[in-house]
Amino acid sequence: MQTDYTFIILTFNEEIHLPKLLDSIKGLQAPIFILDSGSTDKTLNICSTYQVQYTCRPFDNHPKQWHYALNIFPIRTPWVIGLDADQVLSPELYMQLKNFKHQDHDHLTGIYFNRKYHFRGRWIKHGGYFPKYMLKMFRYNIGYSDLSQNMDHRFLVSGPTQIWRKGYLIEENLKENNISFWLEKHNRYSDLLAEEEVNRFLQQPGKIGRANLWGGPNERVIWLKQRWNTLPRYLRPYLYFSFRLFFQKGILDGTTGILYHFLQAFWFRLIVDIKIEEQFRLKGIEPQPSAGRKFTFRFLLFFLLLYLGNLTFIGITTPGRFYNQWLDQHLNYIRYWREFNISSVATLLNLMGYEVKKSLFNLHVTGRSGFRLVYSCLGYGIMSVFTAFIMAYSKSIRSKLLFLLLGALSFQSLNLLRLLLITLYWRPGYMINLHFLFNLLIYSIMGFMIIIWIRSGNQYGNKIKKSL
């Protein structure tokens, strides 16, 4: 029998998944232990059929289940692999484990597996879900379950780790094909997560590992959770959903993928925020929520007014059913904005000695390249976010106007530089999404500017932070 590692699996009513997982690992001849949470289906019969040792413990949360499993089973191997019942090994990962030799990894304390997650038959490839590295293999008595969390379970180790980028854990919970199951499960999870955040507010959490954006996968997750906990409730689900859908390209996951990102990033996180407020009320606690809540709703209101207002104006100044000729001819600031960008780039190129041809939407340089400036390239979405934040934030009118002017000038300058570089150096066939890269750059710069502005002599940011 294989002596280098032991599998531990958590189960609860997993008759639909467990045989497939056990079949995917039985050729590795490794010890297998199962901790069940009180299954009422054929799960325990399957354990007996496969001659797998199991024990039962009532479920309270995943971190405590894993902690119990790591301490109750008679593990005699130097390494442990923790799996969920709805995961299976890909052939590539199977071969890596088949060839695993303990003596070749003496310098390591943990190994990250890459996960491919499926939802209702669809591989969720975007939205930050792939690649997704999870610490699933670690040295026994060195790796441990992070008990500071109620949800978002993870194993932690001290010492060097390695990431296996080839091969995958393929995860698909077939029970979630019934959307009611997914909603009920995450409703329970929202209770645990809300309780966790309330407890974090009431007392400082214990040590949860090192936070580092540029570190390993676990360190990066801890860093991001710390940033998440500083965001105003009710605003953060909206920001998270938008980030996953657009910046992490979740929109490319199709209808099923977009549904998943909406449910997991927005619906679930919004329910958590609502339950946090409920728990505060039940405990008779008022953590000064007014500043953060008012800011959140003002920001969303101003953003929707600005963004939808721009879209509406574009619609009524474009020939069609709702076309308004007078607005188009006299107050079409969208057209003026576009013409300013094209004319400014043309002027710069002329000063540099290039021959330029331009029209209402297009600019081309003889012997070089050019661009077509459509509405989405003007940046009214970015400027709507930026302006809405400034309008919602509590500072002096003078400070707001100066910062808004600085932001508008900075964005306009960067946009002109982008158009200039595209004209001079872009060539058809480059496999680069310039629109995405520019948006990422602009939002990063905008966020950095906002942080500096908030910290410049105003206590409102502290009020928002206290409202968490």
Supply the DSSP string of 233-259, one letter for each residue.
TTHHHHHHHHIIIIIT-GGGGHHHHHH
Pairing type for strands 155-156 and 144-145 reads antiparallel
What the block records as the tokens of 137 is: 């293999």
Nearest to 114 by CA among 172, 171, 169, 173: 169
* Confidence bin at 292 (pLDDT 50/70/90): low
355 has a pLDDT exceeding 60: yes
How far CA 316 is from CA of 301, 309, 313, 359, in Å, comes to 22, 11, 5, 22
Site of tokens 């509405």:
375
Which of the two residues, 434 and 332, has the higher pLDDT score? Answer: 332
Q: Name the least confident of 264-268, 281-285, 417-421, 460-464.
A: 460-464
pLDDT digits (tens, 9 = 90+) for 368-394: 888 888 777 788 888 888 899 899 888
> What are the pLDDT digits (tens) for 46-101?
999 999 999 999 998 999 999 999 999 999 999 999 999 999 999 999 999 999 99
The separation between CA 444 and the C-alpha centre of its own chain, rounded to angstroms, equals: 16
* Proportion of the chain above pLDDT 70, given as a percent: 92
DSSP code at position 373: -
Quick: pLDDT tens for 34-45: 999 999 999 999
Tens digit of pLDDT for each residue in 387-403? 998 998 888 899 999 99
DSSP string, 187-218: HHHHHHHHHHHHHHHHS---------TTS-HH
Task: Give all domains of the chain, ordered by start, each with its CATH number.
Answer: 5-173 (3.90.550.10), 179-284 (no CATH), 303-466 (no CATH)
Please report the pLDDT score of residue 181 as a whole number.
95
pLDDT mean across residues, the chain: 87
DSSP structural state of residue 2: -
Q: Are 292 and 232 in contact (CB under 8 A)?
A: yes
CA neighbor of 59 nearest in space, from 143, 151, 137: 151
Q: What percent of the chain has pLDDT above 90?
A: 48
What pairing do the DSSP bridges indicate for beta strands 362-365 and 370-372? antiparallel
With 0-12 / 13-18 / 19 or more C-beta atoms within 10 angstroms meaning exposed / middle / buried, residue 374 is exposed
Q: Which two tokens stand for residue 74?
A: 């008679």
Identify the band that residue 430 occupies on the pLDDT scale cut at 50, 70 and 90: low
Three-class DSSP category at 81: strand
Confidence (pTM): 0.66
Average pLDDT value for residue range 126-150? 93
Q: Is the confidence at residue 24, as pLDDT, over 70?
A: yes
Alpha-helical regions (H) of 42-158: 43-49, 62-72, 91-98
Name, in order, each residue with C-beta under 8 angstroms of 241's C-beta and a sequence gap of 6 or more.
261, 262, 265, 266, 269
pLDDT confidence band for 315 (50 / 70 / 90):
confident
